[in-house]
């Protein structure tokens, strides 16, 4: 073989066309690039616009210490002053109760779907129900809880009722994202754990869930961000209170979306308008802060184990 190869001429004398300059292809490439960049920019415009509007109109009140420490007690739409403490606390309390109920159910449900029920009729039924739940509008969830909590059981309109309806909205979001994250965990890791004689439940708890932890936290945050901005359940299930009420089981409760709704009617009046924008910005910051916190938790737990 090598003798033959040595006797062959080094070049066969033909030059291949490697220039690849095809006008039509180059044009299509440029066109596609421009379109993609444009689409990106168009998608970005509303986001930046919203941020700019909210920040520019709402930032001034946020530097006022009263904003973070006082309620709207006794403040009318024509008057300046007061704060959003009652609404921030209301939103946080209702949001955290919602998460405390929805997150365990969602994560356990996702674990069932991925680890135990794969391919069974029960899993398909659960999956189908979750799909339906994803499509339920917030006002329908609120009316359902109203019908059960208030009409049937005869309880009052309180913060906890809002949390119950928000659970219905948060559950499918967290369950779906957790399910996707668990599916991404390679089977090889599960097998490695089984091969060490580790039982299935412990494999899930100590290997599968920690591997997917970052993604699960992100899903929880997305779910929480979604429900903290919901307004319909607040309007239906708990009245807006300008006073500080930290008890989710008794009385009306302030919340940022309903605070915005309260002052929105008098947007022509400057004090009210200021408060609307400041409350909107506060809500955005609250979600952002929770997001950052969750990322820190996820990162901290990852480093700790490394």
Partner 1 sequence: MAKRIEVGGLNVYYGDFKAVEDVSMTIEPRSVTAFIGPSGCGKSTYLRTLNRMHEVIPGARVEGKVMLDQQDLYATGVDPVAVRRVVGMVFQRPNPFPTMSIFDNVASGLKLNGVKDRKKLTAVVEQSLQAANLWNEVKDRLDKPGAGLSGGQQQRLCIARAIAVEPEVILMDEPCSALDPISTLAIEDLIEKLKDRFTVVIVTHNMQQAARVSDQTAFFNLAATGKPGRLIEMGPTKQIFSNPNEKATEDYITGRFG
Work out how close the CB of 177 gets to partner 1 at its nearest, in angstroms, rounded to a whole number: 19
178 binds partner 1 (CB under 8 A): no
Q: Interface mask (CB under 8 A) for partner 1, residues 60-99, using x and -? A: ----------------------------------------
Of these, 23, 119, 135, 154, which contacts partner 1 (CB under 8 A)?
A: 119
Q: Determine contact, residues 85/71, Cβ cutoff 8 Å.
A: yes
Q: How many residues bind partner 1 (CB under 8 A)?
A: 27
Q: Please give the span between the terminal C-alpha atoms of the chain, in angstroms, as a whole number.
A: 54
Residues 6 or more apart whose Cβ sits within 8 Å of residue 89: 244, 246, 254
Going from the C-alpha of 245 to that of each of 111, 157, 300, the distances in angstroms are 37, 13, 34
Work out how close the CB of 122 gets to partner 1 at its nearest, in angstroms, rounded to a whole number: 14
Q: In this structure, how many other beta carbons lie within 10 angstroms of the beta carbon of residue 230? A: 23
**Would you tell me the crossing angle of helices 159-184 and 138-145 to the nearest 10 degrees?**
130
What are the contacts of 143-152 at 24+ separation with CB within 8 A?
143/236, 144/168, 145/233, 145/237, 146/236, 146/237, 149/237, 150/237
Residue 236, both tokens: 């239906």
Of these, 33, 186, 247, 265, which contacts partner 1 (CB under 8 A)?
A: 186
36/189 with CB nearer partner 1:
189
Between CA 261 and CA 269, with CA 266 as vertex, the angle to 5 degrees is: 130
Q: Interface mask (CB under 8 A) for partner 1, residues 199-238, using x and -? A: xx-xx--xx--xx-x-------------------------
Q: Which among 303, 305, 276, 162 is positioned nearest to 228, based on CA atoms?
A: 162
Work out how close the CB of 186 gets to partner 1 at its nearest, in angstroms, rounded to a whole number: 7
Work out how close the CB of 206 gets to partner 1 at its nearest, in angstroms, rounded to a whole number: 5
Of these, 36, 100, 192, 297, which contacts partner 1 (CB under 8 A)?
A: 192
Of these, 48, 108, 137, 191, which contacts partner 1 (CB under 8 A)?
A: 191
117/239 with CB nearer partner 1:
117
State the residues that interact with partner 1 by CB under 8 A. Answer: 118-119, 186-200, 202-203, 206-207, 210-211, 213, 302, 305-306
């Amino acid at each position: 073989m090598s003798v033959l190869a040595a006797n062959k001429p080094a070049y066969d004398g033909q030059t291949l066309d490697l220039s690849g300059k095809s006008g039509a292809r180059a044009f299509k490439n440029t066109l596609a690039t421009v379109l993609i960049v444009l689409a990106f920019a168009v998608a970005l415009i509303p986001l930046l616009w919203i941020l700019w509007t909210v920040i520019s109109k709402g930032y001034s009140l946020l530097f006022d210490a009263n904003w973070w420490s006082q309620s709207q007690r006794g403040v009318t739409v024509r008057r300046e002053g007061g704060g959003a403490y009652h609404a921030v606390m209301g939103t946080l309390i209702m949001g955290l109760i919602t998460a405390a109920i929805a997150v365990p159910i969602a994560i356990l449900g996702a674990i069932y779907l991925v680890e135990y029920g794969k391919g069974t009729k029960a899993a398909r039924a659960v999956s189908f129900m979750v799909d339906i739940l994803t499509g339920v509008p917030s006002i329908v969830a609120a009316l359902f809880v109203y019908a059960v909590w208030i009409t049937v059981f005869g309880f009052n309109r309180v913060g906890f009722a809002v949390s119950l309806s928000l659970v219905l909205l948060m559950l499918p979001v967290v369950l779906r994202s957790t399910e996707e994250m668990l599916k991404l965990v390679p089977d090889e890791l599960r097998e490695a754990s089984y091969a060490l004689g580790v039982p299935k439940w412990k494999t899930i708890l100590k290997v599968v869930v920690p591997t997917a932890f970052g993604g699960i936290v992100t899903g929880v945050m997305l779910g929480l961000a979604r429900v903290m901005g919901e307004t319909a359940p607040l309007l239906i299930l708990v009245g807006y209170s300008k006073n500080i009420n930290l008890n989710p089981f008794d009385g009306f409760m302030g919340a940022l979306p309903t605070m915005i709704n309260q002052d929105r009617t008098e947007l022509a009046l400057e004090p009210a308008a200021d408060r609307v924008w400041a409350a909107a910005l506060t809500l955005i910051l609250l979600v952002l802060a929770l997001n950052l916190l969750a990322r820190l938790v996820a990162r901290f737990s990852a480093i700790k184990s490394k």
